[in-house]
Every structure is written in structure tokens, then in C-alpha cells.
Amino acid sequence: MAQLLSPPSSSVIDLALVDDFYFSLLFDEPSTDILPVSDAKYAEELQFQEALVSSAEATRNQTTIVTPSFFLISSPSPPSIIINVQKPVEEIGQSSEIFCEICTERKPTDEIFPNASCTHSYCSDCIGRHVASKIGESSAVAVVACPGLDCRGAHELEIESCRSILAKEIVEKWDEALCEALLMECEKFYCPFNDCSAVLVREIGEDEVIMESECPICHRLFCARCNVVWHSGIECEDYQRLNEDERGNEDLMVREMANQKNWKRCPRCKFYVERIDGCLHITCRCNYQFCYGCGSQWTETHATSTADESAVMSKLLSVISPAPKGWLSIADYCSAWDGIKCSSGKVTVINLRDMSLIGTLPSDLGTLSQLTTLSLQGNHFKGSFPSMANLSLLQSIYLDGNSFTSIPSGCFQGLTNLQTLSISTNINLAPWSFPAELVGSSRLVTLYAKSCNMFGTIPDIFGSFSNLQDVRLSYNNLTGVLPLSFAGSGIRNLWLNNQQMGLSGTIEVLANMTSLYQLWLHKNMFTGPIPDLSNSDTLFDLQLGDNLLMGIVPDSLSSIPSLKNITLANNTLQGPMPLFPKSVTNVELDGTNSFCKSTPGPCDTQVMALLEVAGDLGYPTVLAKSWKNNNACSDWSFVVCDSDGNVIIVNFQRLGFLGKISSGFANLTSLKKLYLDDNGLTGSIPSSLTLLPQLQVLDVSNNNLTGDIPSFPPRVKFTTTGNLLLGKTPSSESGGSSGSGSGSSNSTDGSANGTRNGNRVSAGMIAGIVIAVIIFVLFVLFVSYKCFVKKFGRVENHEIGKASAMDSELQSQNSGDHNDFPLFEGGNVAISMQVLRQATNNFSEDNILGRGSFGVVYKGELDNGTKIAAKRMESNAMGTKRLNEFQAEIAVLTKVRHKNLVSLLGYCINGHERLLVYEYMAQGTLNQHLFDWQKNGISPLTWKQRVTIALDVARGVEYLHSLAQQSFIHRDLKPSNILLDDLMRAKVADFETGRVTTKVDVYAFGVVLMEIITGRKAVDDTVPDERSHLVTWFSSVLNNKENILMAIDEALDPDEETMVESIYKVVELARHCTARNPYLRPDMGHVVNILGSLVEQWKPSCQEDDEKMVSRHERNMSLPQALERWQTDKGTFTMFDDISFRGVHQTTHTT
């Protein structure tokens, strides 16, 4: 940088001896500052300097002062420069001040330039100004010559003396670089960047100039040979031939170089600053304080935010190993750490993909508020994954292939910009549910969560994801049904295969997923038919194998144009084997399917007709398992054929079928008898059935049919009773359509063949009959009540009065000492106290079976030999709460009937006493067989017996939860409430109504499974504390299979491999049922599926089903109707031989 001195007021100079730079030697104000100027400005100032010199010379010529000479001698190589100055007339005196022969002023001795070569003197200021002026020249200054006439004294300059004679501003800015230029044979030049123009030097005579050089001040690259901005990739000669506008973009080159060296510009002066320590707090040479990370002005808030992120990154550095490339200093995490990117000093990207790192992530990683991408896949991170909640800028999370052990609840809450979540292959994760909080991530495109131990159901939230394309949840433990919100979604690839517990339900929702490319649902528990997928014209890969799919494969499946791969193997599919075009290259249909033929082709007409019937019933499992091959007369259940191979009888009585009556029956032209009674059929009766030429009997009673009643020929015995909404008038006036479901008496042949007018019933007549029946019932109730009050007096218990509505049903016909028989009141069996006293030997202590919180259970035997169990409670000791519970239990037990629930046979109210009468379970409770078998002298339960009992219990609870008319909760499921019959089959007792979630019962069932496995009680005070709580202890032994085998009941001997595998499955099921989060527990339907597959040899015959299974329609029946049916069907139920039945009889129309 050239230096220009401030203009003096007067000066004398010998112009002949001055080279190309003019300056003043004499100052009226010697303290004038030195002002730096660029070379470009120097030319402009030259004329001004010449004018000043000319003026000074003219002034000086008017004086008589003689001008002495002062010499600055350059180094030998450059030419010498001599400057003449006026020698003062005044002699130098002897004092503490010395007279400067240049400025002609007296100066203190400490301001005199040291000159040992002669006796002349001059001050450092004058010499300094002169030397500073030489900055504008290319010569080096090594020696200062004495200005005295004929004096050849000279003083060699040194570094220290150089600094002392230079102005303070010059020294602070240029320092040694300027001194080198003065003392050594160096060539001076300037930084080519206009905003810098720093003085640079190079030695003269240097053999080779280093072309790519770096300015020590602004840290930018330049070419030292051309003295221009560095021209990368081009030689100097070529560069110099370019025009000015062809020499590239300086800023682009600077940014490239700054990115390589991680430099930052000062926001104020724009100079590049290199950080040499760890602090982000930078103070530029212009005194501007800024953050080296983000470049913004440094504030207290900024300091806190930066410190927080620095702390998080410091933790990350300390917990992972090996340290990735460049991870050395915490101060450099934005600039030097491999995989870390920042914006404005905030971490935006963490990409540590496939680095084989180990460690546990810091819990506050989710505080990096500007994070957009987190890529941690392909490592070995363990421990809990930190919550990412509310990181609204986060777009991608990749966690695949690690060893995380848990995902915190709400981890993905508030991720409004999330597009990709990939967490597959984290097999060490504790059970966790589908993150329903993703409902707020409406921009989600990809969701990968394979093999990550995900439990529970898939929430119905997919309507929130308009951009979602890929969902891969394979190899988990998901249960439940497909969410309805799948319909209409844009999902292209859906992988739900290989669920350990098995997804279930139908797959009908797939019919409305029109964007599918890949659909993998294999190895689950899906049921029902394959839907029409013809709208999914982009589908190329369909995997439905290893499920429980039923029915006929739709023809539309073969017409999907893009289909390439399809697997339907190992289902229970029926009908003709499908034929696919040659464009479908991979087809798998083998396994457990029941196609009518082994090759594609049509099935027998009767087979197709019956399969159409099954389809309208929703393809019941019992039909799918037994209706195989191409001959309906070959071991097809519920079908009877004649000797010619024609179907003549179809008997679907009491099978609990739902759906509608199929018109496919009309294709069975030889059909004579069709029994559809006592199911849950809906819809109308197809009129096409009237065309069956040989039909003799059609029974559709006790269903939920609606619509008009078709007219059948007179030969058809047509029964419709028990269908309350079925048409009340025949659709035709012919005799074949006699009676409606609301009829109340049996029709005879005579009445059926009467005249048309005889078959018509007026509305007035019906109304009269109804009113008469109501009056009669009210009269009977009134008389009964009066008899009761007369014998026992008025009821004094106010608690009973509060429940008068219930009491109207519960009042028994108490006979005192008379031999009264139980009556049906309000649909319940009321039993006299005398009958129960006789049965229990007057409630003898010897007859006690057990004691509970609500009373004592007695064993009893009726006169006919029927054994009962009577639970006796005293209402005066119960209080209102227990009285209400007693009433509630009756209300519940009369509605629910299932082979795995203990049956209520009757009840009794006698004053303050309340009794419930149950069927007797000969083998007692499960509690006795698990914990007290040695004490009771009985054999321990085998593993097969234990699993069968567990299945029975699961079926009973499943019925309570989801199959009964209303949902019931047991709330107290435990071994003492599980009873066993003579065949060691289990039934659940003491269940109640409840408002709590069914997951309470699932947890209790899981505890029962643990008790069955270990033979230990849920809470055992006889063992050490760490083992006293079964669930806690059992969970601790699940780490490996060896621990499990050591934990099972000592009474079991797991010597068979199949038994060991069965134990492992039940153990896993118990763990799932007792999951801490209720949403992670399976429903009882899936529990039944798992246990059912383990009970291999227990397969009840159809006869056993008829005897033991109470179908779904019976939940709409009153208890008397059920008892009447049992008597009729079995002929052995004689517990109450003298009971007067007041039920509603079936109405049979004989035509």
C-alpha cells in the first residue's frame, strides 16, 4: 500500500533529485497523520503534490538559507536516491534537546534517530516519514546516509529501528512485511483484491515464483506471477491474453476457496476470517463481534442457543465410537465433522449412514431445532431412541439396521414436515405400538417399519396421508383388521406379511385401493373371499398365500393387465382353479386350497350352486373346511344326497350363520328339504325358491328376515316364526304362503287348505288378540303377587323396593313348605327355596364347594339325580351395591350362553336371601389343579390339558367381548373362577358387566397363562420378594429359551420337541397379553387363533358341536326357550320335569 503524506505548509526540495514520488520535508505541523492510499489514487494525488512542492520552492527562494543534502542510500542493486534539504543556520547547542537538521526543530534526545556514523543529528519523525514514502517504490532501503555536506556517514537499518521510525498505524497494519521490504532486497506488490490491497513482498532474483499464493490478510488465492485473482486451470500466458470480462467470477472463486478452508466473512467489513481457536464468538479486526457458525451478530440469546447445540453435539461425540472422520474438536462440528451440515450455525443434517458406529444416542438429540435429516442406518446404536417430537422441520428419519431397545411414546409427535420414516430391522426393540401420532405428518410418503417388534393394531388414520406411497410393516406382531382408511389411499406398495400374531378379518378394503403396485399379505390370518381387484390395473405383485382365505377366486383377478407375480397357496379357496395369462410369470396355487379340480376348468353344477350359497353366507369356516373336491355328495357336511348323487337335503339348523338366503339354492333342482332355522340370517326370502320342483320343507324360523313372504305351492311345509320384521301379509293370496313370523299357533293341514277368506286375518282381529293376551298376562302377574304377599307378608326391604323393576322379574313363587315347582318369570327360571334346601341337605357344611366375596357355594343334587351348584347370598348383609350386582348377574347370565361359560340354571329369592343355581362342574376349579393337586391327591395337569383349558377360557372370554348380544367384561378372571367338567374342559364363571376396556381381561388372561405355565400363583408370599410377583419375575426370564424351560412347572416334563415349541408359543402369548400398554395387547379373537393351532387333537365332531355349542342366535332367546330346546333336542334334560313352560311355540305352516 503506498503512503501519502499530508500537504505541508512550506517545503524546499530539489526536484532534479526526486524520482516519481514527491513529498514535503518541512512541516509546520510535524504530527500530521500518514494516510494510506492505493496505487490507483496515487496518480490523482501526484499533481497535487507537485503543486505543493512548487509553492514551497518559490517561498524558499526568497530566503537566504543554504540547502544542505540528506541522502537515503538504497541497497547496491537499485540506484541510490538523494534528497537535498536546507541546513539550518543556527548552530546546535549543548542541552538535553537536540536540533533536527531536517525539520529545524529541537527534539528530546529520545526522539533523535540513532546515528553513530557521524556528528549530524535528525529526529526519528523526519526519517520515518521519508522512509514511509519509499513504500511507493520498488527499491529496498538498507542504509540511511548522513545529510551533512561532504559527510559520508551512513547508518544501517534493523528491524527494531525500522519499527521505531515507522508510523504507529503502519506498524500495526503491516509490521514485519513492511520491514522486510525496507531492509531486504524484496519486491513489493499488492493483493489483487480491491477490498484488501495488502502490501506483499517477494525477494528479487527469486528463481521460481510460486504462482498459486495466498494473501495472509484476506486469505484468498491469487496468482503471484500475474498479480491477479487465482486463475484455476489456465496458464498465466493464456490468462493474460483474456479480456477483463473473460477472467471469471471473483466471488465464485472466493466462495469455492472459502468452502474448502471453511472461512467466514466478517458481516461488516467482508474480510475473510479464519478461526484459530475453538470459540464461535469472533471479534474481527474491525471490532465487529459475530458468530463464526451462523455469521449473525453475537447476542446473549444467540450465545445460549449455540451453547445448547454445542452441548448436544459434544455429547454425541462422547458417546459414539469410533469417532467419524474429522470429529476432533467440538468447535468444528459445523465445519469439519464428516456427515454434519449446518445452516446459520444450526445443525440441519446428521448423516452417519453405514459407519458401523456403536453407542447410545444422547436423549436431547431432539433439541436440534433446525434438523431436517437424520440418517443413522447401518450402525449398531443401542438403548432408547431419543424423542424427535415437535421437530417441525424434520423431513427424513432413517434408523434401519440398528439395535435400539425402545421407542418413547409420542416420539414422532408434531413432525409436520416428515416425509420418510424408516425404522426397519431393529429386532431388539421392546414391544411398541404403531405410532398413531403420525396422523399429524400429513406429508408422509414412505413408512418402513419391518422387523421392529411392533405390536397391536394398525390405527385407522390413513386418510390423513394424501401423499403416502410405501408402507412396509412386515415381520412384526400386528393384529386386528385392515383399517378402512386404506380405501381410497394412494398407497402403492403395501407389505404386511409375516405377522407373528397374524392380522385377521376380511380384505374387502383392498377393492378400493386402486393405486397398488405391490401387495404382500401372506402369512397372516385373513379370512373371507378375495375381493374384486380389477380397478388396481397397476398391480404387478400379489402375495396372499398362507392365510385362511375362502371362496371362489374371482375371474377379475386374471384380467389385471400388469400382474406378474401371484401367490394364493395355503388358503382354503374353493371352486375352479383360476387360469392366468402367460404374462403372469410366477403363479403359486398349491397347498391347502380346495379347488374342485387339480387343473383349471368348471366345477360340477351342484358344487357351484352350494359355493354360491356359501358365498352369500360369507363363506363360513365350517363350510370351507369340509366342502372339498368336485362332488357335493362326498363327505360334504350338512348335505344329504340320494342314490343318484343329487342333493336333496341341506340342513343349516343352529349353525350361527349370518348373511342372506342365497338364490343359489334354486339351482339345486332335486332339493326337497331346506333347514335354515335358528341362525342370524337377514334380508328377504328369494322368490326363486318357489320354483324348486321337489321342495317339501322350508324352515327359516328364528332369523332376522325382512321383506315380503313368497307364495309356495301347497305341498311345501313353510315355517317363518321368529322373524319379527318379516311381512305380516302374504305376497300372494294362495294357500302356500300361510302365516307370518308373528303367528302364535301351529297351523294344520286343514287350515292351510281352507279357503282364501279363511286365511285372511283382519287388523282388528290381530289387535284384539294382542290386547287380550296383555290383559291375561297382567292378571296372572297380579294374582301371583297377591299370593306371594298373602303368604309371606309385604316386603320390608327398602333396597329391594328401589329395584322394583328388576324385582318384578326376580320374585319367585315361594311355596313355603309346599312342593311348588319353579316357574318361568320374565324369561328366568325361579326355583323354590324348599327344592334347594332338599338338594343341598339344608345347606350342610359338608356340601360347601367354596366361599367367595359374595357368599358360599353349595353342592346339591335334585331328586332326579341332576347335580347343581347353588351360590347363596344374604341381601341384608350385602347392601345396595351387592343387591344390584346380584340383579345384574341374573340379567347378564340370562343373555349370554356359550359352551365355555358356566350356565345359569335358575335363581331363588326368599326374603332377604338371594341364590343363583349353576350347572355343577365336577372337577372343581383350575386353582385346585394347578396349586393344590398334591394336597387333593389328584394327578397334575398335562401340557395338552393346560393348553386345551386355556383355549376354552379364551373362547369363553372372546364370546363375552365380541360375540354376545352386548359386550361384557369379566373383570375377575383367575384360576378360581375357571371351572372344569368331567372331561377336564373349562368354563368361565363369575363374570359381570363392566365399562372398562376388554384389555383388562386380556391382561388377566395373560396372568392365567403364566400360572398355567409355571404352576405358580400370581402373587405368592411364600417365596422371596424378587419372585413373589409372577408377572415381574416371569418377564425377567424371557431373555432366552433356557431360562423359559427352567421356569415351567416342575410337574411338566417337556421331553417332546413339539411340546417345547408349544410352550414357547404360549410363553410369547402370555408376554403379549400382559404388555404394559393396553393397546399392545391382542384381542381375544387372536388369542383363540394362536391357542387353537396348538390344540391339534381336539377336533369336535358335528354332533359334539350340536350338543355343546350354543349358536349366536340363542343370545336372543329367553332361558325357558333354551331349556325347551335342550329337552327337545337331547331328550335327557329332566332337571325340572314338572316345569310348566309358558314360552312362545313355533308356528308351522303346512301347505
Alpha helices by DSSP H, listed for 550-652, are: 605-616, 621-626
List beta partners, residue 97: 108
List beta partners, residue 1019: 1029
The two beta strands, 855-861 and 978-980, are unpaired
Nearest to 1097 by CA among 951, 897, 885: 951
Nearest to 496 by CA among 530, 524, 468, 456: 524
Nearest-5° angle of CA 794, CA 797, CA 803?
100
- Side-chain-side CA neighbours of residue 61 (13 Å): 7
Is 972 a catalytic site residue? yes
Phi, psi of 358 (to 5 degrees): -125, 160
What helix, strand, coil percent values describe the chain, rounded to 5?
30, 20, 50
- What CA–CA distance (Å, rounded) separates 1067 from 1053? 16
Phi-psi label, residue 255: left if phi above 0, alpha if psi -120 to 50, beta otherwise: alpha
Q: Looking at this protein, which amino acid is placed at residue 1097?
A: Q
Q: Residue 949, class by beta-carbon neighbours within 10 Å (0-12 exposed, 13-18 middle, 19+ buried)? A: buried
The two beta strands, 340-343 and 726-730, are unpaired
Q: DSSP labels for 132-176?
A: HHGGGSS--EEEEEP-STT---EEE--HHHHHHHS-HHHHHHTTH
Nearest to 535 by CA among 510, 508, 555, 498: 510
Question: The C-alpha cell of 1063 is what?
Answer: 410352550
User: Do 874 and 914 touch, CB atoms closer than 8 A?
Assistant: yes
- Side-chain-side CA neighbours of residue 230 (13 Å): 19
Nearest to 592 by CA among 634, 541, 548, 623: 548
Residue of 972, 981, 1020, 1105 marked active site = 972
Rg (CA), the chain: 51
Which CB contacts under 8 angstroms, 24+ apart, belong to 515-519? 515/469, 515/489, 515/490, 515/491, 516/491, 516/492, 517/492, 517/493, 517/541, 518/492, 518/493, 518/494, 519/494, 519/543, 519/544
- What CA–CA distance (Å, rounded) separates 78 from 76? 6
List beta partners, residue 639: 650
Alpha helices by DSSP H, listed for 507-634, are: 605-616, 621-626
Three-state DSSP at 199 gives: strand
Task: Give the 3-state secondary structure of 996-1029.
Answer: CCCHHHHHHHHHHHHHHHHCCCCECCCCCHHHHE
Which residues carry a binding-site annotation? Answer: 871
Cell 393396553 -> residue: 1078
Which residues carry a binding-site annotation for ATP? Answer: 871
C-alpha dihedral sign at 451, 454, 459, 463: negative
Nearest to 532 by CA among 523, 542, 524, 522: 542
Q: Looking at this protein, which amino acid is placed at residue 566?
A: I
Phi, psi of 890 (to 5 degrees): -65, -45
Question: The C-alpha cell of 1066 is what?
Answer: 404360549
Q: Looking at this protein, which amino acid is placed at residue 547?
A: N
The H or E element containing residue 1042 is helix 1041-1047
Active site residues: 972
